[in-house]
Structure 1
Amino acid sequence: MTTLRPDTPAQVQDAVAWAVSEEAPLEIVTLGSKRAVGRPMQTANTLDLSGLAGIGLYEPEELICQAGPGTPVAEIEAALAEQRQMLAFEPIDLGPLLTGEAGQGSIAGVFACNLAGPRRIKAGAARDHLLGFTAVTGRGETVKSGGRVVKNVTGYDLSKIVCGSWGTLAALTDLTFKVLPAPEHETTLVIGGLDEEAAVRAMSAALGSPHEVSSAAHLPIGLGAGDVAGPATCIRLEGFGPSVAARAAALEGELAGFGGSLGAVEGYQSRDLWRALRDVEPLAAPFERPVWRLSLPPMAGPAVVLAIRSAVEGADYYYDWAGGLVWLAVPPAPDAHAGTVRGAVAGAASGHATLVRADEAVRAAAAPFPPQDPGVAAQSARIKASFDPLGILNPGRMMAGV
């Protein structure tokens, strides 16, 4: 296997142009923390972008940052923390789940995979924070989209297409993204003892209130995160100290009707709780279990989980995004129980299931990314043909034969 390690964007373009001329597929990696997500790829060559690293521009007063694709997320978050700023969409660190080692993700991986954490319900997805990028397509051509301001009309909004493409459309060489002030204080209300249907209703009520809830999750009995043990319904409020205190007191009164015991965690205890939920730490062990990510209508979550648990003994799970996201760990099986999981999801009004963790043989058999309906598949094929007509970049990672 040949590994190409360019140090400049021009060298990236040369490397992809060579691959196109030779019709030699490339695996695109930066720091490799998410390499085990998706179908296994049969590529003889790797394009390693870790050499294009470093924060090239950071203007705290303008709330923008620009960095190379191989820049560690931890490095960016440390620089932002010095200015009391943050990546508001709360990027997931899949290291604890996939490799057992945290802090290894790159900024290109964050946007290419479009994985946002618990604050997504308020701050939006990763793609909503990408202002612009430069990349090399599978044609060997350099393209630039967006700019350095929050509101711009520079060409097509390609960020929405590239984010979530998992490196199958272009090799990112530069990214510009917005940052936001970090909250001064956070409090997490914890309601103990609710069943799952009541928990989803309580989280929905909290989100529908005027109290600016930033995150809502539910841990079932037998599962814990940080210092919080289930059954626990967790609702986070952030902002200035007096405002958080007033909103928390008002929300406590509104949630009292759901029953259960009301408590709160603050400061580092609240941060530890949401970091653990963000990084799927409650399901990290035992490591051999496949882990699914279910995106669902929030009210459908309990019924979908019940259908899976009825057919798969020993499944563990918890709810995020007020019930709209379910993280699910299942016992090992040759197909990671894909038929059962996707069948249960199909029973909801809408939704999809992505296999995030499984060994290579299972990922080859189970189609980790959700199957697309014919209309979406045809549109995806047209986009792929526009960016990468020869299938040079990360071939087959998302869909077999693509």
Structure 2
Amino acid sequence: MIVHFEPASEEGIASIVRSAASERVTLAIVGGGTRLGLGNPVRADRTLSTRRLSGIVNYNPAEMTMSALAGTPLSEVEAALEAKGQMLSFEPMDHRPIFGISGEPTIGGVFAANVSGPRRYVAGAARDSLLGVRFVNGRGELIKAGGRVMKNVTGLDLVKLMAGSYGTLGILTEVTFKVLPLPSATATVVVSGLNDAEAAAVMAEAMAQPVEVSGAVHLPESVRGRFVGGSLPEGAATVLRLEGLEASIAMRAEKLAAALARFGPVSRLDAVQSKLLWAEIRDVMPYADGTRRPLWRVSVAPSAGHQLVAALRLQTGVDAFYDWQGGLVWLRMEAEPEAELLRRYVGALGGGHAMLIRADDASRGRIPAFEPQAPAVAQLSERVRAQLDPSRIFNPGRMATAA
């Protein structure tokens, strides 16, 4: 039987880690347990959860910063921000639908996995909002980023290292991050009937317009009908989000629609429809289908996304839609993960990052979930981990790289 720890303090976490290090016992690090499917399976002797380390430590709306303990539910953080008209700009995805699980996402888990949504390509990733961290390293020492110099990692940004480390470098206990004002209005301009290549051109044109598009996504016909109760027009939908003041939205939407009218029929979703649509895009709802069919998150150049999917369709059965102006491809394989084929095509198209998000247990056990690192980067990663977790007790087997 695996022992499960739920300490309620930093010192409690540090004590457990010191004991584990001295006994050479490995620890699976979890928050709310909603992202256990990310990365390769962790095989550890014991589990340590931060869910009892919960609460907002400090929130200064005027300075647009918040500090919260790592186990604080994400919903609690977002509710506190919304009450003051603010938000997490990077729009973190909720992984529960695609994994078909329950539980409560935590703010520590968001930053540990660097979880970002549709606004990332204009507002930055989760790590770009992270200002400071407190964490327990593999020796059971409490580290505050910037307040302690770690031997042989001098010059490296510990805050950025912890974001996206998936619990392999240390146990986050507290995070400090910046927030932004909530937009007072939202609208979505829709261009209908485009194929994937045409949509890539339209999204590029939209981003070149002086209208501040905060979301650019193409939904092929295969997924279009799975959004917002069918409120999107018929045909494939290229959707472009505008946020800001109501008067500004009206003028910018009109200007954008005029610029794109030559590409196809243009329509508009109102604020209620937009909110629902972008939440479903964020959470990849077309593939929250109750199956374990392989699901990939592929980052490439915006012009390469549709080329990647077209090449794969000649070899295997795939379904896909495009976020980040085409630079993020959510790709579901109909049978096998086809990791070698996918990564070979990604390399041929200029490189990128292909992360296996979901698959059956056998596939997750044999396929590297993260894009293999270049030798020099892998050596640096090992040096950093040797300093922060010398006994390799945290999340063995996950093999994370920053995404």
Could you tell me which residue of structure 2 aligns to residue 246 of structure 1?
251
Could you tell me which residue of structure 2 aligns to residue 330 of structure 1?
333
Say if 1:223 and 1:230, in contact at 8 Å, map to a contact too. Answer: no
CA–CA distance in structure 2, aligned partners of residues 274 and 17 of structure 1: 44
Could you tell me which residue of structure 2 aligns to residue 85 of structure 1?
86
Q: Deviations over 1:242-288 (max 9, x none)?
A: 1111111111111123x211001021100111111100101111512
Task: Tell me the CA shift for residue 392 of structure 1.
Answer: 0.9
CA–CA distance in structure 1, aligned partners of residues 324 and 164 of structure 2: 19
Could you tell me which residue of structure 2 aligns to residue 173 of structure 1?
173
Say if 2:89 and 2:123, in contact at 8 Å, map to a contact too. Answer: yes
- Structure 2 counterpart of 1:197, one-letter code: A
Q: Give the match's secondary structure for 2:291.
A: coil
Could you tell me which residue of structure 2 aligns to residue 276 of structure 1?
280
Structure 1: tracts of 5 or more residues without a match: 148-154
Task: Tell me the CA shift for residue 364 of structure 1.
Answer: 0.7
Q: TM-score, normalised by structure 2?
A: 0.93
Task: Tell me the CA shift for residue 222 of structure 1.
Answer: 2.1
CA 1:207–1:50: 2 relative to 1, 3 Å: same
Q: TM-score, normalised by structure 1?
A: 0.93
CA–CA distance in structure 2, aligned partners of residues 161 and 311 of structure 1: 37
Q: Give the match's secondary structure for 1:10.
A: helix
Task: Tell me the CA shift for residue 156 of structure 1.
Answer: 5.6
Q: Deviations over 1:66-92 (max 9, x none)?
A: 111111111111111111111011011
Q: Deviations over 1:337-390 (max 9, x none)?
A: 212221221221121210001122210111111111111111111111121111
* 2:113 paired with 1:113: yes
Q: Give the match's secondary structure for 1:61.
A: coil
CA–CA distance in structure 1, aligned partners of residues 180 and 292 of structure 2: 38
Aligned-residue CA RMSD in angstroms? 1.7
Structure 2: tracts of 5 or more residues without a match: 148-154
- Structure 1 counterpart of 2:80, one-letter code: A
Task: Tell me the CA shift for residue 230 of structure 1.
Answer: 4.7
Q: Deviations over 1:84-124 (max 9, x none)?
A: 111011011111111244x7211011000012100011110
Say if 1:53 and 1:67, in contact at 8 Å, map to a contact too. Answer: yes
- Structure 1 counterpart of 2:188, one-letter code: T
Task: Tell me the CA shift for residue 161 of structure 1.
Answer: 0.8
- Structure 2 counterpart of 1:249, one-letter code: E
- Structure 2 counterpart of 1:360, one-letter code: D
Could you tell me which residue of structure 1 aligns to residue 151 of structure 2?
none
CA–CA distance in structure 2, aligned partners of residues 98 and 44 of structure 1: 24
Q: Give the match's secondary structure for 2:104.
A: coil
Q: Deviations over 1:301-357 (max 9, x none)?
A: 1110011111112x2110000001000111233xx2212221221221121210001
- Structure 1 counterpart of 2:322, one-letter code: Y
- Structure 2 counterpart of 1:326, one-letter code: V
Deviating runs (4+, > 3 A) in structure 1? none
Q: Give the match's secondary structure for 1:223.
A: helix
Q: Which moved more, 1:341-350 or 1:289-298?
A: 341-350
Percent identity of equivalent pairs: 44
Q: Give the match's secondary structure for 2:398.
A: coil
Could you tell me which residue of structure 1 aligns to residue 150 of structure 2?
none
Could you tell me which residue of structure 1 aligns to residue 21 of structure 2?
20
Could you tell me which residue of structure 2 aligns to residue 189 of structure 1?
189
Provide the aligned length of Structure 1 versus Structure 2: 389
CA–CA distance in structure 2, aligned partners of residues 50 and 399 of structure 1: 22
Q: Which moved more, 1:296-305 or 1:199-208?
A: 199-208
Could you tell me which residue of structure 1 aligns to residue 10 of structure 2?
9
Could you tell me which residue of structure 2 aligns to residue 380 of structure 1?
381
Could you tell me which residue of structure 2 aligns to residue 368 of structure 1?
369
Say if 2:166 and 2:400, in contact at 8 Å, map to a contact too. Answer: no
Could you tell me which residue of structure 1 aligns to residue 216 of structure 2?
216
Say if 1:145 and 1:156, in contact at 8 Å, map to a contact too. Answer: no
- Structure 1 counterpart of 2:195, one-letter code: D
Say if 1:50 and 1:70, in contact at 8 Å, map to a contact too. Answer: yes
Could you tell me which residue of structure 2 aligns to residue 306 of structure 1?
310
CA–CA distance in structure 2, aligned partners of residues 197 and 55 of structure 1: 45
Say if 1:27 and 1:43, in contact at 8 Å, map to a contact too. Answer: yes
Could you tell me which residue of structure 2 aligns to residue 232 of structure 1?
237
Q: Deviations over 1:175-217 (max 9, x none)?
A: 1111111000011100001111111111112112211111100
CA–CA distance in structure 1, aligned partners of residues 351 and 279 of structure 2: 28
Could you tell me which residue of structure 1 aligns to residue 144 of structure 2?
144
* 2:309 paired with 1:319: no
CA–CA distance in structure 2, aligned partners of residues 12 and 231 of structure 1: 50
